[in-house]
Amino acid sequence: MTGAIANDAAVAFDPLRPRLVRVAYRMLGSVVDAEDVVQEAFIRWMSADRAAIRDPEAFLRRVVTRLCLDQMKSARARRETYVGPWLPEPFVTDEQEEAEDVTLPLMLALERLSPLERAAFLLHDVFGMSFDEVSATIDRDAAACRQLAARAREHVRDGRPRYQLEQTEGLRIADAFFAASRSGDMTALGAMLAEGVSFHSDGGGKRPAAVRPAIGVRQVMQVHKALAVLFGKYGSTLVRTCLVNGLPGFVTREADGELQTTALDIEDGRIAAIYVMRNPDKLRHLN
Protein backbone atom coordinates (compact mmCIF):
# COMPACT_ATOMS: atom_id res chain seq x y z
CA MET A 1 0.00 0.00 0.00
CA THR A 2 1.43 3.38 -1.01
CA GLY A 3 1.80 6.24 1.45
CA ALA A 4 -0.84 8.26 -0.42
CA ILE A 5 -3.43 5.48 -0.19
CA ALA A 6 -2.73 4.94 3.51
CA ASN A 7 -3.03 8.68 4.08
CA ASP A 8 -6.40 8.80 2.29
CA ALA A 9 -7.63 5.93 4.47
CA ALA A 10 -6.55 7.77 7.62
CA VAL A 11 -8.16 11.04 6.51
CA ALA A 12 -11.53 9.31 6.21
CA PHE A 13 -11.08 7.23 9.39
CA ASP A 14 -9.66 9.68 11.93
CA PRO A 15 -12.79 11.89 12.35
CA LEU A 16 -14.77 8.71 13.17
CA ARG A 17 -12.22 7.31 15.64
CA PRO A 18 -13.60 9.00 18.82
CA ARG A 19 -17.14 7.71 18.16
CA LEU A 20 -15.87 4.23 17.36
CA VAL A 21 -13.84 4.18 20.60
CA ARG A 22 -17.00 5.10 22.52
CA VAL A 23 -18.91 2.24 20.91
CA ALA A 24 -16.11 -0.21 21.74
CA TYR A 25 -15.70 1.10 25.28
CA ARG A 26 -19.43 0.75 26.03
CA MET A 27 -19.23 -2.82 24.77
CA LEU A 28 -16.03 -3.83 26.58
CA GLY A 29 -15.75 -1.61 29.66
CA SER A 30 -12.06 -1.11 28.91
CA VAL A 31 -10.49 1.97 27.34
CA VAL A 32 -7.33 0.11 26.37
CA ASP A 33 -9.23 -2.79 24.79
CA ALA A 34 -11.52 -0.33 23.00
CA GLU A 35 -8.56 1.49 21.47
CA ASP A 36 -7.02 -1.83 20.39
CA VAL A 37 -10.29 -2.88 18.71
CA VAL A 38 -10.57 0.43 16.87
CA GLN A 39 -6.99 0.15 15.68
CA GLU A 40 -7.78 -3.33 14.33
CA ALA A 41 -10.82 -1.84 12.59
CA PHE A 42 -8.51 0.75 10.98
CA ILE A 43 -6.26 -2.02 9.65
CA ARG A 44 -9.30 -3.68 8.10
CA TRP A 45 -10.46 -0.32 6.74
CA MET A 46 -7.13 0.15 4.94
CA SER A 47 -7.47 -3.22 3.19
CA ALA A 48 -11.17 -2.80 2.32
CA ASP A 49 -12.57 -1.73 -1.06
CA ARG A 50 -13.40 1.75 0.27
CA ALA A 51 -14.76 2.99 -3.06
CA ALA A 52 -17.59 0.45 -2.76
CA ILE A 53 -18.53 1.48 0.81
CA ARG A 54 -21.38 4.02 0.72
CA ASP A 55 -21.51 4.71 4.47
CA PRO A 56 -18.05 4.45 6.08
CA GLU A 57 -19.32 5.08 9.61
CA ALA A 58 -21.94 2.31 9.41
CA PHE A 59 -19.36 -0.06 7.93
CA LEU A 60 -16.80 0.69 10.64
CA ARG A 61 -19.34 0.54 13.46
CA ARG A 62 -20.30 -2.92 12.19
CA VAL A 63 -16.64 -4.00 12.13
CA VAL A 64 -16.00 -2.62 15.64
CA THR A 65 -19.12 -4.27 17.08
CA ARG A 66 -18.24 -7.67 15.65
CA LEU A 67 -14.67 -7.41 16.94
CA CYS A 68 -16.05 -6.51 20.36
CA LEU A 69 -18.42 -9.50 20.34
CA ASP A 70 -15.44 -11.77 19.67
CA GLN A 71 -13.40 -10.15 22.44
CA MET A 72 -16.19 -10.25 25.02
CA LYS A 73 -15.95 -14.05 25.17
CA SER A 74 -12.35 -13.93 26.44
CA ALA A 75 -13.12 -10.90 28.63
CA ARG A 76 -15.81 -12.85 30.50
CA ALA A 77 -13.35 -15.67 31.12
CA ARG A 78 -10.79 -13.22 32.55
CA ARG A 79 -13.36 -11.71 34.92
CA GLU A 80 -14.16 -15.11 36.38
CA THR A 81 -10.63 -15.14 37.87
CA TYR A 82 -10.49 -11.40 38.69
CA VAL A 83 -9.34 -10.58 42.23
CA GLY A 84 -12.00 -8.64 44.16
CA PRO A 85 -14.88 -6.54 42.78
CA TRP A 86 -14.69 -5.61 39.09
CA LEU A 87 -15.39 -2.06 37.87
CA PRO A 88 -15.06 -0.75 34.30
CA GLU A 89 -12.00 1.28 33.42
CA PRO A 90 -12.64 4.96 34.21
CA PHE A 91 -13.57 7.10 31.22
CA VAL A 92 -12.75 10.65 32.30
CA THR A 93 -14.26 13.74 30.65
CA ASP A 94 -14.90 17.39 31.47
CA GLU A 95 -18.25 17.70 29.69
CA GLN A 96 -21.36 15.54 29.89
CA GLU A 97 -21.83 13.84 26.54
CA GLU A 98 -25.39 14.26 25.36
CA ALA A 99 -27.26 11.22 24.01
CA GLU A 100 -24.72 8.83 25.57
CA ASP A 101 -26.50 8.07 28.81
CA VAL A 102 -24.19 5.27 29.92
CA THR A 103 -23.09 6.04 33.47
CA LEU A 104 -21.08 3.70 35.65
CA PRO A 105 -24.12 2.06 37.34
CA LEU A 106 -25.57 1.32 33.91
CA MET A 107 -22.28 -0.14 32.71
CA LEU A 108 -22.31 -2.46 35.72
CA ALA A 109 -25.86 -3.46 34.83
CA LEU A 110 -24.73 -4.15 31.27
CA GLU A 111 -22.35 -6.77 32.65
CA ARG A 112 -25.37 -8.97 33.41
CA LEU A 113 -26.32 -9.11 29.73
CA SER A 114 -25.27 -11.59 27.07
CA PRO A 115 -22.93 -10.10 24.43
CA LEU A 116 -25.76 -9.93 21.86
CA GLU A 117 -28.18 -8.31 24.32
CA ARG A 118 -25.55 -5.74 25.20
CA ALA A 119 -24.85 -5.00 21.55
CA ALA A 120 -28.54 -4.65 20.60
CA PHE A 121 -29.27 -2.40 23.58
CA LEU A 122 -26.27 -0.12 23.08
CA LEU A 123 -26.59 0.19 19.32
CA HIS A 124 -30.34 0.91 19.40
CA ASP A 125 -31.07 2.60 22.75
CA VAL A 126 -27.78 4.48 23.23
CA PHE A 127 -26.39 5.12 19.75
CA GLY A 128 -29.77 5.47 18.02
CA MET A 129 -29.39 2.88 15.27
CA SER A 130 -32.53 1.44 13.69
CA PHE A 131 -33.24 -2.24 14.26
CA ASP A 132 -32.53 -2.86 10.58
CA GLU A 133 -29.05 -1.39 11.09
CA VAL A 134 -28.60 -3.41 14.30
CA SER A 135 -29.67 -6.51 12.40
CA ALA A 136 -27.01 -5.97 9.76
CA THR A 137 -24.39 -5.28 12.44
CA ILE A 138 -24.87 -8.33 14.67
CA ASP A 139 -26.15 -10.68 11.96
CA ARG A 140 -29.57 -11.39 13.51
CA ASP A 141 -32.96 -10.55 12.00
CA ALA A 142 -34.66 -7.33 13.11
CA ALA A 143 -37.33 -9.13 15.16
CA ALA A 144 -34.66 -10.97 17.13
CA CYS A 145 -32.81 -7.68 17.70
CA ARG A 146 -35.98 -6.12 19.12
CA GLN A 147 -36.32 -9.03 21.54
CA LEU A 148 -32.67 -8.78 22.56
CA ALA A 149 -32.99 -5.05 23.25
CA ALA A 150 -36.26 -5.54 25.16
CA ARG A 151 -34.71 -8.20 27.41
CA ALA A 152 -31.70 -5.97 27.98
CA ARG A 153 -33.95 -3.04 28.94
CA GLU A 154 -35.58 -5.14 31.65
CA HIS A 155 -32.20 -6.09 33.12
CA VAL A 156 -30.71 -2.58 33.12
CA ARG A 157 -33.75 -0.58 34.20
CA ASP A 158 -32.40 0.00 37.72
CA GLY A 159 -29.10 1.21 36.33
CA ARG A 160 -30.62 4.10 34.37
CA PRO A 161 -30.35 7.56 35.97
CA ARG A 162 -33.65 8.54 37.58
CA TYR A 163 -33.14 12.23 36.92
CA GLN A 164 -30.56 14.52 35.33
CA LEU A 165 -28.15 16.07 37.82
CA GLU A 166 -26.77 19.47 36.89
CA GLN A 167 -23.08 19.03 36.16
CA THR A 168 -22.02 22.05 38.22
CA GLU A 169 -23.95 20.79 41.25
CA GLY A 170 -22.49 17.32 40.87
CA LEU A 171 -18.94 18.65 40.70
CA ARG A 172 -19.61 20.87 43.74
CA ILE A 173 -20.62 17.78 45.72
CA ALA A 174 -17.53 15.95 44.43
CA ASP A 175 -15.31 18.81 45.65
CA ALA A 176 -17.03 18.77 49.04
CA PHE A 177 -16.70 14.99 49.30
CA PHE A 178 -12.97 15.14 48.52
CA ALA A 179 -12.43 17.83 51.15
CA ALA A 180 -14.40 16.00 53.86
CA SER A 181 -12.97 12.54 53.17
CA ARG A 182 -9.36 13.72 53.10
CA SER A 183 -9.61 16.05 56.11
CA GLY A 184 -11.45 13.50 58.25
CA ASP A 185 -14.53 15.71 58.70
CA MET A 186 -16.91 12.83 59.36
CA THR A 187 -19.82 15.14 60.24
CA ALA A 188 -19.69 16.82 56.82
CA LEU A 189 -19.11 13.49 55.11
CA GLY A 190 -22.04 11.78 56.84
CA ALA A 191 -24.38 14.63 55.86
CA MET A 192 -23.68 13.91 52.17
CA LEU A 193 -24.57 10.21 52.25
CA ALA A 194 -27.90 8.58 51.42
CA GLU A 195 -29.15 6.01 53.92
CA GLY A 196 -28.54 3.09 51.55
CA VAL A 197 -25.17 4.34 50.27
CA SER A 198 -22.68 1.76 49.01
CA PHE A 199 -18.89 1.84 48.62
CA HIS A 200 -17.13 -0.16 45.87
CA SER A 201 -13.40 -0.33 45.17
CA ASP A 202 -11.40 -2.18 42.51
CA GLY A 203 -7.75 -2.91 43.18
CA GLY A 204 -7.53 -5.92 40.87
CA GLY A 205 -5.17 -7.63 43.32
CA LYS A 206 -2.53 -4.98 42.48
CA ARG A 207 -3.31 -2.44 45.24
CA PRO A 208 -5.22 -2.68 48.54
CA ALA A 209 -9.00 -2.44 48.08
CA ALA A 210 -12.12 -3.73 49.83
CA VAL A 211 -12.86 -7.34 48.90
CA ARG A 212 -16.61 -6.70 49.03
CA PRO A 213 -18.82 -3.58 48.89
CA ALA A 214 -19.66 -1.69 52.08
CA ILE A 215 -23.43 -1.15 52.29
CA GLY A 216 -25.28 1.46 54.37
CA VAL A 217 -24.19 4.64 56.14
CA ARG A 218 -22.64 2.86 59.11
CA GLN A 219 -20.35 0.61 57.07
CA VAL A 220 -19.38 3.35 54.60
CA MET A 221 -18.56 5.73 57.46
CA GLN A 222 -16.38 3.06 59.06
CA VAL A 223 -14.47 2.68 55.80
CA HIS A 224 -13.89 6.42 55.55
CA LYS A 225 -12.85 6.81 59.17
CA ALA A 226 -10.10 4.27 58.52
CA LEU A 227 -9.18 5.93 55.22
CA ALA A 228 -9.06 9.39 56.85
CA VAL A 229 -6.31 8.15 59.18
CA LEU A 230 -4.29 6.99 56.18
CA PHE A 231 -4.92 10.21 54.24
CA GLY A 232 -3.85 12.26 57.27
CA LYS A 233 -0.65 10.27 57.64
CA TYR A 234 0.39 9.78 54.02
CA GLY A 235 -1.54 12.39 52.01
CA SER A 236 -3.76 12.38 48.92
CA THR A 237 -3.46 15.04 46.21
CA LEU A 238 -6.34 16.21 44.02
CA VAL A 239 -5.38 16.12 40.35
CA ARG A 240 -8.70 17.25 38.90
CA THR A 241 -12.43 17.28 39.52
CA CYS A 242 -14.23 15.82 36.51
CA LEU A 243 -16.81 13.35 35.24
CA VAL A 244 -15.86 9.70 35.68
CA ASN A 245 -17.98 7.38 33.54
CA GLY A 246 -20.62 10.10 33.40
CA LEU A 247 -20.70 10.61 37.20
CA PRO A 248 -19.29 13.54 39.19
CA GLY A 249 -15.94 12.62 40.68
CA PHE A 250 -12.24 13.29 40.79
CA VAL A 251 -8.79 11.96 40.02
CA THR A 252 -6.21 11.86 42.83
CA ARG A 253 -2.55 10.99 43.22
CA GLU A 254 -2.19 8.77 46.26
CA ALA A 255 0.73 8.29 48.64
CA ASP A 256 2.13 5.36 46.64
CA GLY A 257 2.43 7.64 43.61
CA GLU A 258 -0.39 5.93 41.73
CA LEU A 259 -3.49 7.57 40.32
CA GLN A 260 -6.97 6.81 41.64
CA THR A 261 -10.43 7.79 40.44
CA THR A 262 -13.55 8.27 42.55
CA ALA A 263 -17.03 8.47 41.00
CA LEU A 264 -20.16 9.48 42.94
CA ASP A 265 -23.67 8.34 42.05
CA ILE A 266 -25.87 11.15 43.39
CA GLU A 267 -29.64 10.90 43.90
CA ASP A 268 -31.80 13.70 45.35
CA GLY A 269 -28.69 15.61 46.40
CA ARG A 270 -27.21 12.70 48.40
CA ILE A 271 -24.44 10.28 47.48
CA ALA A 272 -26.02 6.88 46.80
CA ALA A 273 -22.87 5.03 45.71
CA ILE A 274 -19.11 5.59 45.71
CA TYR A 275 -16.92 3.86 43.11
CA VAL A 276 -13.14 3.92 43.59
CA MET A 277 -10.74 2.62 40.93
CA ARG A 278 -7.29 1.70 42.28
CA ASN A 279 -6.15 -0.98 39.81
CA PRO A 280 -3.09 0.56 38.09
CA ASP A 281 -3.69 -1.50 34.96
CA LYS A 282 -7.03 0.27 34.49
CA LEU A 283 -5.60 3.73 35.18
CA ARG A 284 -2.58 3.62 32.90
CA HIS A 285 -4.39 5.41 30.07
CA LEU A 286 -4.93 8.46 32.33
CA ASN A 287 -1.19 9.04 32.56
| Residue pLDDT, tens place only, 213-246 | 999 999 999 999 999 999 999 999 999 999 999 9
Q: What is the pLDDT of residues 102-150, one digit of tens each?
A: 789 889 999 889 999 999 999 999 888 999 999 999 999 999 999 999 9
State whether 220 and 140 are in the same domain.
no
CATH of the domain at 136: 1.10.10
Residue 94 domain flag: no
State whether 176 and 150 are in the same domain.
no
Do residues 243 and 94 touch, judged by C-beta distance below 8 A?
A: yes
Sequence-distant (≥ 6) Cβ neighbours of residue 48 within 8 angstroms: 59
Please report how the helices 31-47 and 17-28 are oriented relative to each other, as an axis angle in degrees rounded to 10: 130
Residue 271 domain flag: yes
State whether 39 and 149 are in the same domain.
no
State whether 151 and 174 are in the same domain.
no
Domain that holds residue 177: 167-286
Residue 239 phi, psi (nearest 5): -90, -50
For residue 158, the model assigns a pLDDT of 67
Residue 91 domain flag: no
Residue 41 domain flag: yes
CA-to-CA distance for 200 and 151, rounded, in angstroms?
Answer: 27
The DSSP bridge partners found for residue 262 are: 250, 276
